[in-house]
Structure 1
Amino acid sequence: MSAGKILLIEDEEVSRFLCEVTLAQEAFEVTSAKSASMGIAAAEAERFQLFLLDLNLPDEDGLQIIDRLQQLSPKTPVLIVSTRQSPEERSEGFHAGAADYLIKPFHPDELIYRVKNLIQQSEKEAAAEAMEPTTIAIKSWVLHMDSYLLKRRKGVDISLTRGEARLLAHLAQAGGNVVSREALLERIARNAGSGHPRTVDVLISRIRMKIKKVGKAPFEIVNVPEQGYRLEIVG
């Protein structure tokens, strides 16, 4: 029986072969793509439990396709596997939306541990989210938690990542009260105690940018110095 379906986006032949063999030994079904464009095409054609992503791809930087992968499959975690190892580079990966980051070279056992942990955590999240409201009204806009779409009464819908959607949902459900960065981080982190408070600021910045591209929202995310954030209805 299959342990799950994984999309591996990796152009380096030796690394790709190592991942394929290691995952196959644990009964995972692996679909491999040698470029960003091939990876996107595979994600459009099929459902996966995990995206395993190298960053140094021949046609595009792997960081640039994380958002597109999550638009295609919002609830599928992304595990970056890369030689980029500085704190700044790893931070970029998490800020782009990755759920975990594994530095090359790695031990096969560590790869399996990370993969199984992310898939298990994703399944737990799906079960927990099934008990939560599927839609949250923010004045005339509606946040859909099953698809992570922020739908407007008129115009183009806004596609959010899992973290962006869960953060916005928490603020919306707080009724205008201030929510601390720690509370927001707990809501969006895939593992208890994981993540960095700065992640909250990055996600809020991304939400604001996405909204700005389509026009004015009936709400604002307000920064309350030394306390956190709150959602303010406007208009």
Structure 2
Amino acid sequence: MRVLLIEDDRMVGAAIEQALRDAAYAVDWVTDGEAAIHAAEDESYEVVLLDLGLPIADGREVLRRLRALGRKLPVIIVTARDEIEDRIDGLDLGADDYLVKPFEIRELLARMRAVLRREGSGSAAVLSNGKLQLDPATRQASFFGETSLLTAREFALLHALLARPGTILSRADLERQVYGWNEEVESNAIEFLIHAIRKKLGALAIRNVRGVGWMVDRSS
């Protein structure tokens, strides 16, 4: 699941980026408002984390322009501005949630899951096609009674497939959901992750469509 992080404080941004990657999100991090707009225009994201105090274009302007794109794009404001007027203003401009720094990463992750559930983006409490189940809260997957804890990247890959059962995703599609901009991707990384998941859950958990990509079965 791909996240756009908009944060100009290098220390804060690096900490959030690492925490999100540890939680199985692919993260693209930008440090100014104009770069944020360009990223949102060029890429597809499931959620945006937006600081307000940004250079070039501030967070309020970024939010206005994001909403002008006309997409269903969940935005969580993450800022040190804690006045009630700031919260009301941010929510009225179109933010889906408002989180004041400092915060625990567990709360941020919980708010992201809640916003994504409201948007119907495939982030239900447990994803399932009737045979395969995936719990985002614990990163546990089950297939025909075989249950296993997945690594962050294994989880991200399986989440991408299970969010769209019956849809074939190519290597490039899966790389976008597992890796952020600045992460180096080896040529066989996706195959390695799929092999690891199959080893844990069984060979039929993920199906290969030769020359096209991979899929999980439609809901039964």
- Report the TM-score when normalising by structure 2: 0.53
Shift of 1:73: 5.1
Q: Quick check: 1:123 aligned with 2:120?
A: yes
Q: Which of these residues, 68, 92, 95, is aligned with residue 71 of structure 1? A: 68
Q: Structure 1 runs of 4+ off > 6 angstroms?
A: none
Q: Secondary structure at the match of 2:120?
A: helix
Q: Is the 8 A contact 1:11 1:57 kept in 2?
A: yes
1: CA distance, partners of 2:113 / 2:12: 19
Q: Is 2:18 the counterpart of 1:21?
A: yes
Retained in 2: the 8 A contact 1:47–1:73? no
- Check whether the contact 1:54–1:81 (CA below 8 A) recurs between aligned residues: yes
Post-superposition Cα deviations, 1:64-110, rounded to whole Å, max 9, x if no partner, equal: 11121123252011100000001111111001110000000000101
Q: Percent identity?
A: 37
What secondary structure does 2:48 align onto?
strand
**Which residue of structure 1 aligns with residue 40 of structure 2?**
43
For 1:68 and 1:12, locate their aligned partners in 2 and report how far apart those are by CA, in whole Å.
Answer: 22
Residues 92 and 47 (structure 1 numbering): CA distance in 2 closer, same or farther, change over 3 Å? same
- 1:172-216 per-residue CA deviation (whole Å, 9 max, x = no partner) reads xxxxxxxxxxxxxxxxxxxxxxxxxxxxxxxxxxxxxxxxxxxxx
Q: CA RMSD in A?
A: 1.5
Q: How far apart in 1 are the matches of 2:21 and 2:121?
A: 24
| 5+ long unaligned stretches in structure 2 | 123-220
Name structure 1 gaps, 5 residues minimum: 126-235
d(CA) in 1 for partners of 2:27 and 2:6? 10
Are residue 32 (structure 1) and residue 54 (structure 2) matched?
Answer: no
**Structure 1 length as normaliser, TM-score?**
0.50
Which protein, 1 or 2, shows the higher relative CO under an 8 Å CA cutoff with sep ≥ 6? 2
Q: CA deviation at 1:46?
A: 0.5
Counterpart Cα distance in 2 of 1:42 and 1:124: 20
In the other structure, the counterpart of 2:105 is: 108
Give the conservation status (yes or no) of the 8 Å contact 1:10–1:57. Answer: yes
In the alignment, the residues of structure 2 paired with residue 124 and residue 27 of structure 1 have an alpha-carbon distance, to the nearest angstrom, of: 16
Look up the match of 1:189. Answer: none
**Within 5 Å, which residues of 2 pair with 1:53-64?**
53-64=50-61
Distance 1:15 1:36 in 2: 16
Provide closer, same or farther for how the CA distance between residues 73 and 7 of structure 1 changes in structure 2, counting only shifts above 3 A. Answer: farther
Provide the C-alpha distance between the structure 1 equivalents of 2:69 and 2:5, rounded to a whole number of angstroms.
16
* Whole-Å separation in 2 of the counterparts to 1:19 and 1:73: 27
